[in-house]
């Protein structure tokens, strides 16, 4: 791309990310949950930009917006590009959106240029797993691994996923019937969400693998009582027990070294200042670069929580709501992306991803590859998330190199 055109394209990407940031369920911040009104508004923007880029769009039954490049031979294998349009609460504007908007910009830049494969962009709907206690459902639908039992899970307001899909105008019964056909490979551009590239002084990096992850909802059942009358040694305080559990799991992760454990959400019932908590429900997000380390940490957490429950005379229910093994990026796609970054005259450091991505589900369908883009201070899942416009420009340039170099047959032995 001509340098001026590249600068213009990067500015357009930045402006589109600003426009998407305006699609929020909570004014004053960026919170765009799966199948919410803000999700619907963001899809209208994406659809308009996809159409402008001469892509044919449709919304599949799971909530993924699919845009297909015209003119590809129907028999040709397809290269999928994608990322997610949903956000965490009070998010930044790059996580997920950057990959979709860049892919649209790349398709527009290619115009009618001949490529020996089909190209499709997928805007997934629930990579974050914030609204429902399941996650990656839309990417699993693309991979053909959507689990119908997920339709019965409920959000905080008691709305089932089935109902939410149907309120969005989708046929929830078809959510397990929208696997992508003929997918040769999947590529995703995403912000790094960590500090490695910034420390290396490199705007782009090649992902080697995505860490294993599991999520749990823990319910601690104690006994309600009067805050002024029940002696301290006779209490079964669900919240006090949960606090000890949360600190125990943090220590397990610290001691393990390569494990991270987070409790990001907690609810207490009945929730009155003068009533001893009868119930506490909290989440655990556990990750490790290797499956074995994650399994060992999970076993340690279960033992520790059971020990605290016994000591505090409360009972415990632990349900696992998400599990994804460590996912390797295909070596052929790592090489393709490294060549593309080198063609931009840049170093191409390789790095692992501690964050989860749609590719973890798509890996069940086809080989995956990921290109990371440096973000300021490594900050993400925060309104302070920032990516320099010059880095957006080189990411677009590298993606275009990769798209022009990709040949489905490089994936034959993947």
Binding site for Mn ion (CB under 5 A): 95-96
Closer to ligand GLV at the Cβ: 86 or 105? 86
Q: Is the Cα torsion angle 217, 151, 130, 122 positive or negative in sign?
A: positive
Minimum Å gap between C-beta 355 and ligand GLV is 4
Closer to ligand GLV at the Cβ: 209 or 400? 209
Closer to Mn ion at the Cβ: 151 or 213? 213
Which of positions 108-127 make contact with ligand GLV (CB under 6 A)?
Answer: 127
- String marking each residue 296-335 x if it binds ligand GLV according to CB under 6 A: ----------------------------------------
Which one of Mn ion, ligand GLV, none interacts with residue 133, CB within 5 to 8 A by kind?
none
Minimum Å gap between C-beta 308 and ligand GLV is 26
Which one of Mn ion, ligand GLV, none interacts with residue 356, CB within 5 to 8 A by kind?
ligand GLV
Q: Residues with Cβ < 8 Å from 345, sequence gap 6 or more?
A: none
Distance of CA 210 to the CA centre of its chain: 11
Kindly state whether residue 86 participates in binding ligand GLV, applying the rule CB under 6 A. Answer: no
- String marking each residue 333-372 x if it binds ligand GLV according to CB under 6 A: ----------------------xx----------------
Which one of Mn ion, ligand GLV, none interacts with residue 85, CB within 5 to 8 A by kind?
none
Closer to ligand GLV at the Cβ: 385 or 391? 385
Of 86, 128, 155, 192, which one interacts with ligand GLV (CB under 6 A)? 128
Minimum Å gap between C-beta 346 and ligand GLV is 25
Closer to ligand GLV at the Cβ: 95 or 237? 95
Cα–Cα distances in Å, from 398 out to 8, 94, 189, 338, 370? Answer: 16, 18, 10, 9, 12
Closer to Mn ion at the Cβ: 197 or 280? 197
Which one of Mn ion, ligand GLV, none interacts with residue 118, CB within 5 to 8 A by kind?
none
Q: Residues with Cβ < 8 Å from 380, sequence gap 6 or more?
A: 92, 94, 95, 191, 192, 193, 194, 355
Minimum Å gap between C-beta 90 and ligand GLV is 14
Task: Using CB under 6 A, count the residues that bind ligand GLV.
Answer: 4
Which one of ligand GLV, Mn ion, none interacts with residue 105, CB within 5 to 8 A by kind?
none
Which of positions 163-222 make contact with ligand GLV (CB under 6 A)?
Answer: none
Closer to ligand GLV at the Cβ: 128 or 176? 128
Minimum Å gap between C-beta 323 and ligand GLV is 13
Minimum Å gap between C-beta 10 and ligand GLV is 24
Minimum Å gap between C-beta 128 and ligand GLV is 5
Closer to Mn ion at the Cβ: 92 or 222? 92
Closer to ligand GLV at the Cβ: 176 or 192? 192
In angstroms and rounded to an integer, the radius of gyration of the C-alpha atoms of the chain is 22
Q: Which residues of the shown chain bind ligand GLV in the complex (CB under 6 A)? A: 127-128, 355-356
């Amino acid at each position: 791309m001509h340098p001026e055109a590249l600068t213009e394209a990067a500015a357009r990407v930045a402006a589109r990310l600003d426009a998407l940031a305006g699609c929020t369920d909570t004014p004053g911040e960026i919170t765009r949950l799966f199948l919410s009104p803000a999700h619907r508004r963001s899809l209208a923007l994406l659809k308009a930009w996809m159409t402008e880029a001469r892509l044919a769009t449709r919304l599949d039954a799971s909530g993924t917006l699919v845009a297909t490049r015209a003119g590809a031979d129907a028999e040709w294998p397809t290269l999928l590009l994608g990322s997610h349009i949903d956000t965490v609460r009070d998010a930044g504007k790059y996580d997920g959106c950057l990959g979709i908007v860049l892919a649209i910009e790349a398709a527009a830049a290619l115009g009618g240029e001949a490529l020996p494969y089909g190209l499709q962009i997928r805007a997934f709907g629930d990579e974050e797993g914030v609204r429902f206690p399941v996650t990656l459902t839309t990417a699993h639908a693309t991979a053909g691994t959507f689990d119908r039992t997920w339709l019965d899970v409920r959000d905080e307001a008691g709305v089932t996923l089935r109902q939410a899909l149907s309120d969005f105008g989708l046929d929830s019964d078809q959510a397990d019937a929208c696997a992508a056909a003929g997918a040769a490979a999947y590529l995703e551009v995403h912000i790094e969400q960590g500090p490695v590239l910034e420390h290396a002084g490199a705007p782009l990096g090649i992902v080697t693998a995505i860490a294993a992850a599991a999520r749990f909802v823990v319910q601690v059942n104690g006994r309600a009582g009067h805050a002024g009358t029940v002696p301290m040694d006779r209490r079964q305080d669900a919240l006090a027990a949960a606090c000890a559990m949360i600190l125990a799991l943090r220590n397990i992760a610290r001691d393990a070294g390569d494990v991270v454990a987070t409790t990001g959400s907690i609810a207490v019932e009945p929730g009155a200042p003068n009533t001893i908590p009868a119930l506490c429900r909290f989440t655990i997000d556990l990750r490790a670069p290797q499956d074995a380390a994650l399994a060992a940490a999970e076993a340690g957490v279960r033992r520790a929580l059971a020990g605290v429950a016994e000591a505090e005379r409360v009972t415990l229910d632990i349900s696992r709501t998400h599990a994804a093994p460590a996912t390797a990026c295909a070596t052929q796609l790592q090489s393709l992306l490294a060549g593309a970054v080198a063609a931009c005259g840049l170093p191409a450091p390789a790095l692992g991803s501690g964050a989860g991505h749609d590719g973890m589900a798509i890996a069940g369908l086809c080989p995956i590859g990921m290109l990371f883009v440096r973000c300021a201070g490594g900050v993400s899942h925060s309104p302070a998330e920032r990516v320099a416009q010059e880095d957006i420009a080189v990411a677009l340039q590298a993606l275009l190199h990769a798209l022009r170099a990709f040949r489905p047959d490089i994936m034959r032995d993947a």
